[in-house]
Amino acid sequence: MTDKTLFEPYALGAIKLSNRIVMAPLTRNRAGAGFVPGDLTTQYYAQRASAGLIITEATQISQQGQGYQDTPGIYTQTQIDGWRRVTAAVHEKGGRIVLQLWHVGRISNVDLQPNGGQPVAPSAIRAATKTFVNNAFVDVSVPRALEIEELAGIVNDFRQAAANAIKAGFDGVEVHGANGYLLEQFAKDGANVRTDAYGGSVENRARLMLEVTAAVAQEIGAERTGIRISPVSPANGISCSDPQAQYDYIVDQLDAIGIAYIHVVEGATGGPRDVAPFDYGSLRRRFSKTYIANNGYSLDLAASHLADGKADLIAFGRPFIANPDLVERLQSSAPLAEIDPATIYGGGAAGYTDYPRFTETSGS
Ligand code: 8OZ
């Protein structure tokens, strides 16, 4: 039994979607020299253009914002040119695509940082996690605490990256405020022990995320701006003592900025949905525009959350890796292909652009 709502058009701010299935951002580590997305990446996204909306893989706004090898950027002209080929190919097939803007903060390694410097963070607290650099998993480096005078520069890097995304032909941008990266490091007290205007209270910890979002919205239009958040996810070694209070406040403020959507990772990213108590309905009620729900949704759960008004759009992540035609498969109850875990991160076409459509496997 398939509820039809998932396959109906939807107006996401200024972006017209042909259905309510979103391709969630997925890190694939296949950028070329200069952190430029190449032809395979163009092909990969074009193959998935029947998604109502594609949210790209996380894309660094500066070299300082990079934390893993071979992830793409959006801060050089060559990167803008590379992404322009991607957006043209997706638009050619009738799809819509926004760029996810990323600063990893402390989830990095000196080998990726400008002049081999330390990664930056709200506080000099190393995360208990690893990153992937020089073809190996390595501990993240000890970060240094950002000086308060440096924060305006980071806000400006996000603003410039958003402008670059529009130059590259994107329909909008998503601020990456989730999964233990810079903006979440500020928001969550497990990573932020600052005593200035960016640490301590709920309001202070939210400040950088909100300044960045407001700057992006001012640059490209609130109706083309969204944000991803993960209130209770422990991803990348992070913790928060007061997620409900923190995210109720953040979402109230995001609504005041007027952005088009919040994209909420419910539970532990890529893991259990019920990892910690949290009232997502509270975020839903506080936010007057679009709520995109993510994390472990089956077709049935997606249909029931849309029917109950708990979400407007549903983002599917890993199923899109092995099923370029995920929308058509869900719509026709075709079986889903399984992902090969060995080819998720890095490499070439294998496990990237060579997953067939269902009609190619069934011979019909
Ligand atoms: C998997 C591997 C590396 C990065 C995220 C950008 O979790 C990521 C990511 C995921 O948001």
Q: pLDDT (tens digit, 9 = 90+) per residue, 310-345? A: 999 999 999 999 999 999 999 999 999 999 999 999
Token pair, residue 302, equals 């997606």
**Ligand 1 site, residue 132, Cβ cutoff 6 A:** no
Cα 27 to ligand 1 centre (Å): 5
**Ligand 1 site, residue 131, Cβ cutoff 6 A:** no
Q: Which residue's alpha carbon is at the smallest distance from atom 9 of ligand 1?
A: 27
Q: Which helix (H) or strand (E) holds 121?
A: strand 120-121
Positions marked active-site: 181
**Ligand 1 site, residue 179, Cβ cutoff 6 A:** yes
CA pair distance 46, 95, nearest whole angstrom? 8
Cα 356 to ligand 1 centre (Å): 25
Mutating to test ligand 1, I would choose from 23, 26, 27 the residue with most ligand atoms within 8 A of its C-beta, which is: 27
Size of the chain in residues? 364
Q: How far is residue 223 from each of residues 68, 174, 214, measured CA to CA in Å?
A: 31, 11, 12
CATH homologous superfamily of 4-362 equals Aldolase class I (3.20.20.70)
Map out the domains of the chain as residue ranges.
4-362
**Ligand 1 site, residue 133, Cβ cutoff 6 A:** no
CA pair distance 284, 291, nearest whole angstrom? 7
Q: What is the pTM of this model?
A: 0.98
pLDDT class for 1, splitting at 50, 70, 90?
Answer: very low
pLDDT score for 160: 99
Token pair, residue 133, equals 């650099």
Query: Residue 2: is its pLDDT beyond 60?
Result: no
